[in-house]
Amino acid sequence: MSRPCVTHLLYLHGFRSSPQSAKARLLAAWLAEHRPDVVWHCPQLPPSPAAAVRDVLAHTLAWPHDTMGVVGSSLGGFYASVVAEKIGCRAVLLNPAIDPARDMARHVGEVTAWHSDERFDFRNEFVDELRQLSPPELTDPSRYLAIIAKGDELLSWREMNARYAGCPVKLLEGSNHALSDFELHLPDLLRFFGLD
Kindly list the domain boundaries of the chain, sorted by start residue: 8-192
| Rounded distance between C-alpha atoms, residue 173 and residue 117, angstroms | 33
* Encoded amino acid at 13, one letter: H
User: What does the alpha-carbon distance between residue 82 and residue 10 come to, in Å, rounded to a whole number?
Assistant: 13
pTM: 0.92
Residue type present at position 118: E
Q: What angle do CA 55, 104, 47 make, to 5 degrees?
A: 30
List, for residues 2-59, the tens digit of each pLDDT value: 789 999 999 999 877 789 999 999 999 999 999 999 999 999 998 899 999 999 999 9
Burial (CB count within 10 angstroms: exposed 0-12, middle 13-18, buried 19+), residue 105: middle
Q: How far is 79 from 56, CA to CA, in rounded Å?
A: 9
| Beta-sheet pairing, 119-122 with 169-172 | unpaired
> Per CATH, is 8-192 categorized as 1.10.357.10?
no
Task: Count other Cβ atoms within 10 Å, centred on residue 194.
Answer: 15
Cα(20)–Cα(15) distance, integer angstroms? 13
166-192, pLDDT tens digit by residue?
A: 999 999 998 988 889 999 999 999 999
